[in-house]
Amino acid sequence: MPNSVIRELGAKADRELVVEARRLQNEIKVAVDERTVLAEIDRLVSSSLDIGLIYEQLIEQVKRLIPVEAAAIIVADVASDSVTFEHIMGTLMPGFEQRLVIPMSSFTDANQLARFVLVLDTELLEDMRSEYPGIESLLETGVRSAMSTPLIHHDEVVGLLATTSTEENAYTHEHVETAERIGAQISGALANARLHAEMSRIARQERYSCR
């Protein structure tokens, strides 16, 4: 075999080794970044009984791992058939405002929140444009990708983490897996905050009744 061919084969092998090394380095960095962020989220949700005080910090951590230009943390109450937009960052959708409370039945066709991460990629959003007015509003604000992550505690959907991006097809399978892990952390804190609020309400009523 000519020396020139041997040299070219050797150079190709070297390039492939470099590419593979960079890929492995990137995977390691992503894994380390995710562990760091999940640890910080765990610290945040353990630091306060009122999760509302740390919503903004939680979203900032989420942005380190998932494309987010607008986000909302939505709290669900099945008993009262309502969802509340507890925290909104950026312009999520016209007509949806912070602390807005709407019937769950008007928020989801099935009157039951989804228990899986829902990704709306660019093509799907375009396909849904004519059928759902809300999608049209999203597209008009520049949104090209959206993801909804259920917050599930003890098999009950207690809320949703909704994120959007102006990047086309921004959310990958890896982002979905990350969102599931983050959702598990937030859901427990959300349920505990709701329980604490309910216990505080009962305690206030008992103090009032004893006067």
Residue 87 counted as domain residue: yes
CATH number, domain at 132? 3.30.450.40
Can you give the pTM of this predicted structure?
A: 0.75
Residue 22 counted as domain residue: no
Residue 130 counted as domain residue: yes
- Beta strand ranges found along the chain (DSSP E): 70-77, 82-89, 101-103, 118-120, 145-153, 156-165
User: CA–CA separation, 64 vs 36, rounded Å?
Assistant: 10
What's the number of domains the chain is made of? 1
Residue 31 counted as domain residue: no
Residue 8 counted as domain residue: no
Look at residues 88, 68, 21 and name the one whose alpha carbon lies nearest to residue 175: 68
Residue 163 counted as domain residue: yes
Residue 54 counted as domain residue: yes
pLDDT tens digits for range 163-191:
999 999 999 999 999 999 999 999 888 87
Q: How confident is the model at residue 10 (pLDDT cuts 50, 70, 90)?
A: low
pLDDT tens digits for range 190-199:
877 777 666 7
* Cβ pair 173, 66 in contact under 8 A: no
24 token code pair: 């492995």
Q: How confident is the model at residue 28 (pLDDT cuts 50, 70, 90)?
A: very low
CA-based angle 207:210:211, to the nearest 5? 95
Averaged confidence pLDDT in the chain: 80
CA-based angle 30:155:117, to the nearest 5? 40
Residue 144 counted as domain residue: yes
16 token code pair: 């492939």
- Is the pLDDT at 5 greater than 50? The verdict is no
- Beta strand ranges found along 10-50 (DSSP E): none
User: CA–CA separation, 51 vs 192, rounded Å?
Assistant: 9
pLDDT tens digits for range 80-132:
888 888 889 887 666 678 888 888 776 665 556 778 899 999 999 999 888 88
Classified as helix, coil or strand, 154 is: coil
Residues spanned by the domain of 41: 36-209
| Residue 105: predicted pLDDT | 72
User: CA–CA separation, 59 vs 145, rounded Å?
Assistant: 17
User: CA–CA separation, 98 vs 89, rounded Å?
Assistant: 9
| Residue 193: predicted pLDDT | 75
